[in-house]
Copies of this chain bind each other. A is one copy, B any other.
Amino acid sequence: MAANTRMASAVQILCVIAYAGRPATTAEVIARSLTTNPVVVRRMLKSMENQGLVTIRPGKDGGVQLARPPGQITLDEIYQAIEADTGIFALRPAENPKCPVDRRMRDLLTPILGATNQAVQATLRRTTLASLVDAIA
């Protein structure tokens, strides 16, 4: 599979915002850190705004800021913001009702993939954004 760098991108975006501090920074500044397009950054910022992690103020005096102190943001919240309901593994659509295996996969895999997703979130919850930002010289 194409390696999933969305989590790494999202963490870096929030680190840049925290590192830049006040006044608000912009998607253009963040995009330079990630060597990517501001459009990509804006799309991820929108997801993080929906999750209550950042506030975005439009206009010429606008910009993006953390919605909370970095010590109160844990990485599982960032994960939830960008992976939404998909989780790390997704089920396949059941399309072959005649196949006894295909018919059962959804029921059999749902609890396993759910447990995996919870393990990921529990692990990410142990790290705050502040612990990363404090380690950036």
The residues of A with any CB-CB pair to B shorter than 8 Å are 1, 3-9, 11-12, 15-16, 19, 32-35, 75, 82-83, 86, 88-92, 95-96, 99-102, 104-105, 108-109, 112-113, 115-116, 119-120, 122-124, 126-127, 132, 135-137
Enumerate chain B residues within 8 angstroms of A32, measured Cβ to Cβ.
96, 99
| Alpha-carbon separation in the docked complex, A127 to B111 (Å) | 11
Contact A16 B101 (CB under 8 A): yes
Q: Is the interface of A mostly helix, strand, loop or mixed?
A: helix
Interchain CB contact (< 8 A) of A101 among B86, B124, B136: B136
Known: A8-B92, A119-B122. A99 touches B135 (CB 8 A): no
Known: A105-B15, A123-B119. A95 touches B6 (CB 8 A): no
Contact B8 A105 (CB under 8 A): yes
Enumerate chain B residues within 8 angstroms of A92, measured Cβ to Cβ.
5, 8-9, 12, 34
| Alpha-carbon separation in the docked complex, A15 to B107 (Å) | 14
Output the least CB separation between A71 and chain B (Å).
16
Output the least CB separation between A57 and chain B (Å).
22
Q: Which residue of B lies closest to A132 (CB)?
A: B108
Contact A100 B19 (CB under 8 A): yes
Closest 7 interchain pairs by CB? A3-B90, A119-B119, A35-B95, A7-B89, A119-B123, A33-B99, A88-B88
